[in-house]
Structure 1
Amino acid sequence: MGTSRWSISHSQNQKSDAMQPNLKFIIKTSCGVFFLFLYCEFVIFYIVQLKCDWPELSPENGPQFDEDPVKVMVIADTHLLGSKRGHWFDKLRREWQMYRAFQTAMVIHKPELVFVLGDLTDEGLYCSSSEFEYYVRRFYSLFEVPEGTKMYVAVGNHDIGFHYGVSPYLNERFVTAFNAPAVQLISVRGNHFVLVNSMALEGDGCFLCKPAEQQLTKIQKILQCTKGTYASKCNPKMKLDVYSRPVLMQHYPLYRQSDMECSDFDSAPYPVKQERFRERWECLSQEATLQILDQLKPRLALSGHTHHGCTRPLPTGDGVEVTVPSFSWRNKDNPNYLLAVFSPNNYAYAKCELPRESTVINLYMFGATMFILWLIYSLMCRGRRKYKYH
């Protein structure tokens, strides 16, 4: 009887010893998976984005104004996926990336103004009204701005179509949902931002183009009256508080033959860089470019559309154009956003990188490899313990 009880007790101890390593293994593995997921989906955004800060204005450009400079964040080409071209996992993955990157930027930088330069949606030009309403809800949920920050939106070709495909219905639907008329003038502490619908600059007198041209002419007069160079008599209502050369923002880049002259770290790769731009498709026409530069005389022009970065002098030689790349991993492995600081006589900008999608994928692959090795090691250790007991 004593021997039997000893055998039963010894057998139970062996089972307990066998179960204990299993529990430890599960806990350790679960913790490892959790911390890998937390790092790749949350922490890495703070680590990368904390490296970027607001640029500083150069004192060489003149004395600073009494008021604080305006802090602006610019993103482009979010391309929220639709029901026809977007797989559910692709949509989940890329929208989480943009949500996490944008909200991290809001926490770190706290911009005063946020501008989105078109192609908010991927299928806005042909989706149903109910799906478009879903687009709008998703956009404002993903890109929610805190109190004290204002967001302004320019329209892109994926939102309403290229010029030949834009209908009054599609245009009005977008304008109403995002409060984005064809031409907007936003003035903050002597800094003037002009947002333009790129598809409205065809110059053919269409339902979209004619009102846009009239509004641009009106803004031209307002700027000239404020500066004191308008030939005719100025109405007091046509004057701004302070004159400064405006910042032009739209979806299309200004006219250029290709991206060959772009040497930014986020510029298009070869051979994409060598592809020739088609006027009115990949960029504005040369005629529309010269006309809008002559009317507004911007100090800085910001655009999107190409999904790649580019910095170059304006065709007039007096100012800079910056093309902001896509904010989504779906269009670019190394997306980024623009931070800019403006005073009436000065500005500075910097591009802020986001985590690379390839880096996150490599981290997951490394984690999976380590998990497999850990599993093999644990099984081998368990096998040795069993052999020792026997």
Structure 2
Amino acid sequence: MKQLELTVLLCVAWALILLYGEMFAYWVPSLFTCSWPHLRTSSSNSTVDYLKVAVIADPQLMDKTSLHLPPESLALQIAEFYTDLYMQRAFFASVLPFAPDVILFLGDYFDGGPYLTDEEWKKSFSRFRHIFGLNEQGEYTEMQVYYIPGNHDIGYEYSHAQKPEVIRRYEETFGVRNYRFSIGKVDFIAVDAQTVDGNRKKHLVSKTWEFVKNVSVDGEVHQRVLLMHIPLYRPDDTYCGLYRNSPIINQRVSRTSSVNDIWYQSYVSEDSSKRLMDMIKPKLILSGHDHDQCTITHQSKFGPIKEVL
């Protein structure tokens, strides 16, 4: 009898833990544990003069490259289903309840973007739209949304040379890679970090720096925020702050032995980082790629610049 009671008790405990992890954890309002900064209005008539911006980076939807499973295999379909479900629940529970005015996606939407066929890319984008509640154009009806590319979407210099179609289909899906836009009284400068450190005689790299140059000669009307997927350079073992959980990732740049093209890098090079800060003069830099929190302060000739990963 006692054995039966223990078995029932363990089954009930298992069921409750399962229900909590699969359902109840997402029903507990995030509003109880997190909030927007408490901002004051600047005028006496209490007119709201700020916008709420949410930033999302590196969802990296699982695909055939993630676990090296055969395409269309049952194992891959199950893995994709549950990882998609987790991200969708987390997004709808932890981001949408705060009703942001703008959402910035900072790259790495897919895991093996450069290695997907066009059909696999379309299916992955359909999954992406479903997870984040986007319409067929990748937009929201009540929120603005902006995208920048990541290395898992278009690859690095080596991928661009071997598979130029990755740039074409990215821009057909998410829009141009280098652009600027304004949110309220702030100018956002989106730069394709994957084409910053390559050979500047190549078309993609030269076009990126041409865009940066054009931004630099424009008169500064508003303060600027630089958006990139790959973070700017920082010395090895730089302290990232109290909220980082994983070990510090130091700079690593890998090049092909044949043509010396970049096929991986942890950060933008020191030289390119300085040029970007000097030319764009941002007050804040937002980036991703590192998969953990890191807040650092860069020193430029125009003063300190905070970067948040």
TM-score (normalised: structure 1): 0.64
Residue 276 of structure 2 corresponds to which residue in structure 1?
A: 292
Give secondary structure in 2 for the equivalent of 1:315: strand
Output the CA distance in 2 between the equivalents of 1:299 and 1:63: 24
Output the CA distance in 1 between the equivalents of 2:101 and 2:91: 14
Q: CA deviation at 1:85?
A: 2.7
Counterpart check, 1:127 vs 2:109: no
Give secondary structure in 1 for the equivalent of 2:49: coil
Residue 76 of structure 1 corresponds to which residue in structure 2?
A: 57
After superposition, what is the alpha-carbon deviation per residue over 1:5-59, rounded to whole angstroms, capped at 9, x for unaligned?
A: xxxxxxxxxxxxxxxxx9xx99x99987665444212321343733111113479
- For structure 2, the 5+ residue unaligned runs are 68-74, 135-139, 254-263
Residue 173 of structure 1 corresponds to which residue in structure 2?
A: 169
Residue 297 of structure 2 corresponds to which residue in structure 1?
A: 313
After superposition, what is the alpha-carbon deviation per residue over 1:133-160, rounded to whole angstroms, capped at 9, x for unaligned?
A: 1111011110125531122111111111
Output the CA distance in 2 between the equivalents of 1:154 and 1:190: 21
Give secondary structure in 1 for the equivalent of 2:239: coil
Residue 381 of structure 1 corresponds to which residue in structure 2?
A: none
Distance 1:245 1:259, change over 3 A: farther
Output the CA distance in 2 between the equivalents of 1:188 and 1:313: 23
Output the CA distance in 2 between the equivalents of 1:104 and 1:157: 28
CA contact (8 A) 1:264 1:309 kept: no
Residue 210 of structure 1 corresponds to which residue in structure 2?
A: 206
- % identical aligned pairs: 26
| Residue of 126, 130, 143 corresponding to 2:132 | 143
CA contact (8 A) 2:108 2:151 kept: yes
Cα RMSD of the aligned pairs, angstroms, is 2.8
Output the CA distance in 1 between the equivalents of 2:43 and 2:285: 23
Residue 34 of structure 2 corresponds to which residue in structure 1?
A: 52
Distance 1:48 1:315, change over 3 A: farther
CA contact (8 A) 1:184 1:196 kept: yes
Q: CA deviation at 1:130?
A: 0.7
Instruction: Determine which structure has greater relative contact order: mean sequence separation of CA pairs < 8 Å that are 6+ residues apart, divided by chain length.
Output: 1
Q: CA deviation at 1:119?
A: 0.9
Residue 158 of structure 2 corresponds to which residue in structure 1?
A: 164
User: What is the aligned length?
Assistant: 274
Residue 228 of structure 2 corresponds to which residue in structure 1?
A: 250
Given residue 111 of structure 1, which amino acid in structure 2 is its aligned partner? Answer: P
Given residue 283 of structure 1, which amino acid in structure 2 is its aligned partner? Answer: Y
Distance 1:84 1:182, change over 3 A: closer
Mapping for residues 1-390 of structure 1, pairs under 5 Å = 36-47=17-28, 49-50=30-31, 51-57=33-39, 67-86=48-67, 87-88=75-76, 89-145=78-134, 146-166=140-160, 167-179=163-175, 181-202=176-197, 204-222=200-218, 224=219, 227=220, 243-269=221-247, 273=248, 275-279=249-253, 281-316=265-300, 317-323=303-309
Output the CA distance in 1 between the equivalents of 2:292 and 2:95: 23
Q: CA deviation at 1:123?
A: 0.8
After superposition, what is the alpha-carbon deviation per residue over 1:253-309, rounded to whole angstroms, capped at 9, x for unaligned?
A: 10013344112323423xxx2x53125700001111111111111111011111111
Output the CA distance in 2 between the equivalents of 1:68 and 1:256: 34
Distance 1:47 1:313, change over 3 A: same
Distance 1:186 1:301, change over 3 A: same
TM-score (normalised: structure 2): 0.79
CA contact (8 A) 2:156 2:195 kept: no
